[in-house]
Amino acid sequence: MPISSKKKLKAEIWDRMQFLFRNYYDRMVHLKLVYDGKLDISVLKQVIVYMIEKAPVLHSSFNTTVLEPYWKKEDYTIDDILTVTETDDADRDADVFLSGTIPYDNNVQMKIAVFEQKTEAGIKTVLALRENHMCMDGGDLKYFIVTLVQNYNRLKNGAYGEIGMKSGSRSLDQIYSKFEGDDLKHARGLYKNIAKSQDHVGFPWSAPSDSDENRIIRREIDEEHFAALRATSKKLGITINDAVMAITFRSLYDLCGLKDDDSLTVSCAIDLRKHIVEGGAKGGLTNHTAWLACRTLERGATMQDTVVNVIRSMKNFKRDKFSGLYSLPLLKLAYTILPQDVAEIAIKLGYDNPLLAVSNMGQLDDKGMSFEGLTLKSGFISGATKYKPFFLMSVTTLLGRMTLSTAIRGSAPDVAVANKYFDLFEKYLDEFVKI
C-alpha cells in the first residue's frame, strides 16, 4: 500500500557531487553488525519505516535533467528496504548482500538485510546495511544506526515520547554556521581549487577485467594491538588518525615500490560537522565530508621519521580554522550558474579524485548499537566500492578492535594485493608500537 505522496526535494551540492563520483565508485556506504540473539522483526520494521519517513531523501529517486537534478519522493513498502533471511552462514550472506548496489533512480536509497543463523549457543544475527552515499556519509550513518537501535529499544519498552530522529536542512551552507564576521566572509570566499593532486601514485591493483566484482576486503586489528597503538599515540602526543596515516604511508611506500625520496599523497577524510553549530545535530541526514591531501616528500629512514613527516603535514590542516572549506564556494558557484551537464564537465576538469585515501570514521558506539536482548559481537562501516585505480581504506573501531577495510570492484589478484597491504600495515603497526 502506498505510504507517501510524490513531491520534489532539492538535490543539494553534495548529492550532486556524489552523483558525479559515480565515475569513480559505486556510491554505496556499507555497514555490518554481528549480534548474538534474535531481533524482534516486527518492531524493527516499524522503526525503520518511522526513520525513513523522517528522512524523505531515503525514499526518493534521483532524477537528472539537463538543467538541475532533483529528488522525487517515491512510494515504497518496508519490503523494498528490509529483508529477513534464515541462513546457515549469516556472515557469508551478509557479505554478498553488501556487495550489491542501489541505482540512483530507485524508489528507496537504503537496503537493510537481517540474516539469522542457528548456532549451538542460540541465534546469531547479522544486520547488513547499504545506502546511497548521495544521501548521507559515514558520519550520519553512524548517527542513523545508533538512532535506529535506540528507537527499537524505546519502542520495545513503549517509551514513545523518546522516539525521534533529527531532520532539517541538508544544505551545504550549514558548514558556515559557526563562522561570523570577517571569518564568515573569508570562508565563503575560499574559491581556491585544492583538488588538483601533486602526486600520481596509485594502488597496485590489477588491470580491470571482466571477472571484476564488488568485494570488501578487511582486516581486524585485535584488542591488544589496538590498545598498544592507542598507548603509543598517546605517548607521542598524536591522534590515532595520525598514527594510522603514518602506518599507511609507510605501508604504501613499500607496496607501491616507491623510492625513499619520492613524494606521496594520501587523502584523509575530514568531517566538516566540526564547523557546524552542535555538530549538525539540527540538520538532516546528509554529506559533510571533505578531503585533505596529506603529503610527505620522502619516506623517512625510520618509522619515527615517517610519523614526523606525516604529523608535519597534518598539523597544517589542524591549525587551519578553515580546513576542509577550500574549493566549496567554487563548487557551489559551478552548480549554481551552470546547467547540470556543463557543471559536471567543468568540475570533472578541475577535480582529481584521490588515488589513495583513508577515511577514519573513528569509534563506533557499542552501547548505542546494542539492541535490547542482543549482544553486539563485532561490526564495521566501509566506504564505497571504488573502481580501479582508486583506493580507499575505511577505518572503524568497535569493542576495542579496529577494522580496516577496502571496497574494490576487482578480482582475485586484487584481494591478494589488498591483503598484502594489510600485512604491511600490521608489520608497521608492530614497528609503530615499539617507538
Partner 1 sequence: MTETELINLLKPRFKAYLEGAFRQIDPTKAAMEYRKQLLVKLLDRSQELHIRGIEDPELIFKTAIDELGDMSQNLDKFENREKNKGEIKRKVSMGTIIAMAIIALFGLLYVIAGATTNLWHPLWLVLLFGIFVSATVLLTFAGIKLFKKHKIIPIRIMLVAIEVMLSVFVFLVLQILFNINGSWLVFLAMVALIFGVDTAIAFLLGDKTKWIEFPIFIEVLCVMLYVILGIALDPLNHVASIWHPGWIMCLAGVGVAIVELIVFLVNRARLNAKMEEEREEDLNQKTDESYWTEWDD
- 221/307 with CB nearer partner 1: 307
Confirm or reject binding of residue 227 to partner 1 (CB under 8 A): no
**Pair 61, 104: CB distance under 8 Å:** yes
Number of residues that bind partner 1 (CB under 8 A): 15
Confirm or reject binding of residue 228 to partner 1 (CB under 8 A): no
User: Which one of the spans 220-228, 249-257, 305-313, 338-346 is the region binding partner 1 (CB under 8 A)?
Assistant: 305-313
- 316/336 with CB nearer partner 1: 316
Question: For 64, phi and psi rounded to 5 degrees?
Answer: -100, 140
Question: For 357, phi and psi rounded to 5 degrees?
Answer: -150, 155
* Radius of gyration, CA atoms only, the chain: 22
User: Which one of the spans 285-293, 306-314, 321-329, 389-397 is the region binding partner 1 (CB under 8 A)?
Assistant: 306-314
HSE-up of residue 221 (Cα within 13 Å, Cβ side): 27
Distance CA 174, CA 76 (A): 30
Quick one: which of 58, 238, 328, 343 contacts partner 1 (CB under 8 A)? 238
Distance CA 13, CA 288 (A): 10
Confirm or reject binding of residue 294 to partner 1 (CB under 8 A): no
Q: Which of 317, 298, 273 is nearest to 170 (CA)?
A: 273
Cis amide leading into 339 (omega within 30): no
- 95/305 with CB nearer partner 1: 305
CB of 37 to partner 1, least distance (A): 40
Residue 113 parent element (H or E): strand 110-119
- 231/333 with CB nearer partner 1: 231
Residues 311-330 that bind partner 1 (CB under 8 A): 311-312, 315, 319
Confirm or reject binding of residue 307 to partner 1 (CB under 8 A): yes
- 6/315 with CB nearer partner 1: 315
- The C-alpha cell at 377 is 559481537
CB of 235 to partner 1, least distance (A): 5
Residues 103-142 that bind partner 1 (CB under 8 A): none
Quick one: which of 308, 338, 346, 415 contacts partner 1 (CB under 8 A)? 308
The C-alpha angle with vertex 234 and arms to 264 and 434, in degrees rounded to 5, equals: 70
Distance CA 37, CA 40 (A): 10
Cell 535490547 locates to 372
- 118/315 with CB nearer partner 1: 315
Cell 538535490 locates to 11
Question: For 235, phi and psi rounded to 5 degrees?
Answer: -60, -40
Confirm or reject binding of residue 235 to partner 1 (CB under 8 A): yes
* Burial zone of 26 (CB within 10 Å; 0-12 exposed, 13-18 middle, 19+ buried): buried
- 232/385 with CB nearer partner 1: 232
- 260/278 with CB nearer partner 1: 260
- The C-alpha cell at 427 is 608489520
Confirm or reject binding of residue 305 to partner 1 (CB under 8 A): yes
CB of 315 to partner 1, least distance (A): 7
**Computed from CA positions of residues 290, 12, 144, 118, in that sequence, does the dihedral angle turn out positive or negative?**
negative
For the chain, first and last CA: distance in Å?
62
Strands 28-36 and 122-132, by their bridges, are: antiparallel
- 194/435 with CB nearer partner 1: 435
Cell 532539517 locates to 168
CB of 128 to partner 1, least distance (A): 40
Confirm or reject binding of residue 192 to partner 1 (CB under 8 A): no
CB of 316 to partner 1, least distance (A): 11
- 64/304 with CB nearer partner 1: 304
Confirm or reject binding of residue 236 to partner 1 (CB under 8 A): yes
Quick one: which of 237, 259, 367, 412 contacts partner 1 (CB under 8 A)? 237
- Across-strand partners of 270? 290
CB of 66 to partner 1, least distance (A): 36
User: Which one of the spans 40-48, 183-191, 308-316, 351-359 is the region binding partner 1 (CB under 8 A)?
Assistant: 308-316
3-state class (DSSP) for residue 372: coil
Residues that bind partner 1 (CB under 8 A): 234-238, 302, 304-305, 307-308, 311-312, 315, 319, 435
